[in-house]
Amino acid sequence: MKQKTHYRTVWLSDIHLGCKDCKAEYLLDFLNHSTIDTLFLVGDIIDLWALSKKFLWPASHNTLLHKLLSLPDTDESGHQTRVVYLPGNHDEPAQQYDNMSFGHVEIRREYIHTTANGKKLLLLHGDQFDSEVCFGRLHNWIGDKAYDLLLLLNRWFNAIRTQHGYSYWSLAGHIKTRIRGANDAIARYREAAIARAKKDKVDGIVCGHIHHPEITTIDGITYYNDGDWVENCSALTEDHQGNISLVFWAEEVAKKSSSPLSLIPKTNKVEQAA
């Protein structure tokens, strides 16, 4: 864990700084064990919705935000990270600054990324598909309340696990995959994203928004969802050969360590470069 992993590209979304379920410590740990050439922040980085209801800003959230903003600066090894920020719905006010820069952080609503092996990927947060996935106001309200309950259960479940020396595990994600309505919404979202990629004539699409990490190829289009740092602690990564993988940072804990943040990254290689 002392050696850093070098990535050509990393995609992160749905960090939700300012929300009590944000796993800032885990993301800090991931960043401290990585060197990244280009980092795409794919929306919902700061949760302005949560902050408008109740202001919550722990020291770890401040440290993480500072870390993200300082990545474009040259570090002790002389490395710099290009940072591109694609605002989502929870940080919607930043969308008005499309094609501008905040310091050395570029702001884009959507972006086309070319992988090391020449594939064109459309990048966007994914709230653009809400109207196509929406089941109506009542269903949305019920869904929001159910999700809040899931996160509450997830919080208490993992508090108990930590007390007994176990690492973080996403109970919320496990339950979601067993609810038909949630699976239907995920499928409709995936279909909408793939349809958009086909329309734009790209090889794939990278998004977040629904907190469901996934890599799936349908009709020659690859759908990438980088997940979140509320439930899954997941990142999408590209190496210098163009291999794109999901990394679940909290999935394994070093056997000899008692700290839940002394983690072994588990990389799920799904797509290999041609």
CATH number for position 157: 3.60.21.10
pLDDT along the chain (274 residues), means of 10: 86 96 93 95 95 94 96 85 96 96 95 98 95 57 57 73 70 69 85 97 97 96 97 95 94 45 44 43
What DSSP letter does each residue of the chain carry, written as one string? --SPEEEEEEEE----BTSTT--HHHHHHHHHTEEEEEEEE-S-SB-HHHHHHS----HHHHHHHHHHHHTTS--TTS---EEEE---STTGGGGGGTTEEETTEEE-SSEEEE-TTS-EEEE--SGGGHHHH---HHHHHHHHHHHHHHHHHHHHHHHHHHHTTPPP--HHHHHHTT-HHHHHHHHHHHHHHHHHHHHHT-SEEEE-SSS--EEEEETTEEEEE---SSSS-EEEEE-TT--EEEEEEEEEE-TT---TT-EEEEEEEEE---
The predicted structure's pLDDT at residue 203: 98
List the domain range (segments joined by +) for residue 85: 5-271
Count of domains for the chain: 1
pTM over 0.85: no
- How do residues 148-180 score in pLDDT, each as one tens digit? 767 777 777 667 767 777 767 676 666 677 766
